[in-house]
Amino acid sequence: MLKQKAKEEYAIVLDFLPNGYPFDTRPGHKKTSIVQAVGKEYFVLLELTPKKDITVSNNEEVYIGDGKRDKIHFINGRLPTERLTETAKIELNHIIESLVEKNEKKFVEFFNKAQPINTRRHQLELLPGMGKKHMQELLEAREVKEFDNFEDIKTRVKLMPDPKKTIVKRILEELENKDRYKIFVG
């Protein structure tokens, strides 16, 4: 059975360029509007083309799934972090933080279910600031009782870096392709 690629249904607008990219050398009448967005579920960075005469604002949620889309004409493809505008880079941090907060249960589940990658490395060790000692304490604490929320992780694992900030940092690292392992980015 083939593994299906992560497909986003909704994206959050990072930046809207009504006149296209400034470095686009084509004449103004040939340029198209561009939307830079991040997927809500798998944090995929996307370049979108809005429908004609449609404007979107930063932090707006837009439907990009199959079927009739109200604001987005088509998905141009994935967007490397190097092509993000300065506005999009700033917005990305806030939006990722907000999405992690809203989906706390999903990320706490990661702490409860994380497994070894191979005999030498564990998924938990991929998180920034997480060494063998923290990993071991975390594994022992979750054996006693699964974690309920980020606060529960912080209180039960001594000197644990802030779990929410750690997850946000990891997602941003994955978007920048700093590691071959992908935990959260589709």
125-178 pLDDT tens trace: 999 999 899 999 999 999 999 999 999 999 999 888 899 999 999 999 999 998
Cα dist. 122→4, 133, 160 in Å? Answer: 25, 12, 17
Residues 160 and 110 placed together within one structural domain of the fold: yes
pLDDT tens, position by position, 43-87 = 999 999 999 989 999 999 999 998 899 999 999 999 999 999 999
Which pair of structure tokens corresponds to residue 144?
A: 């006693």
Do 77 and 110 lie in a common domain?
A: no
Same domain as 151, residue 114:
yes
Q: Determine the 3-state secondary structure of 7 from DSSP.
A: coil
Same domain as 124, residue 68: no
For residue 3, is it within any domain?
no
* Whole-number pLDDT of residue 5: 59
Domain that holds residue 24: 10-84
Kindly indicate the confidence band of residue 1, based on its pLDDT and cuts at 50, 70 and 90: very low
Q: Assess whether pLDDT exceeds 70 at residue 4.
A: no
Spatial distance between the Cα atoms of 88 and 105, rounded to a whole number of angstroms: 27
**56 within a domain of the structure (yes/no):** yes
Query: With 90 as the cut, is the pLDDT of residue 96 above it?
Result: yes
CATH (domain of 30): 2.40.50.140
CA dihedral 111, 147, 100, 7 (to 10 degrees): 60
Is 122 within a domain? yes
Query: Is the pLDDT assigned to residue 180 strictly greater than 60?
Result: yes
Could you say which of 34, 56, 84 is where a domain stops?
A: 84
Please count the structural domains in the chain. Answer: 2
Q: Cα torsion for 150, 156, 160, 163, to the nearest 10°?
A: -10
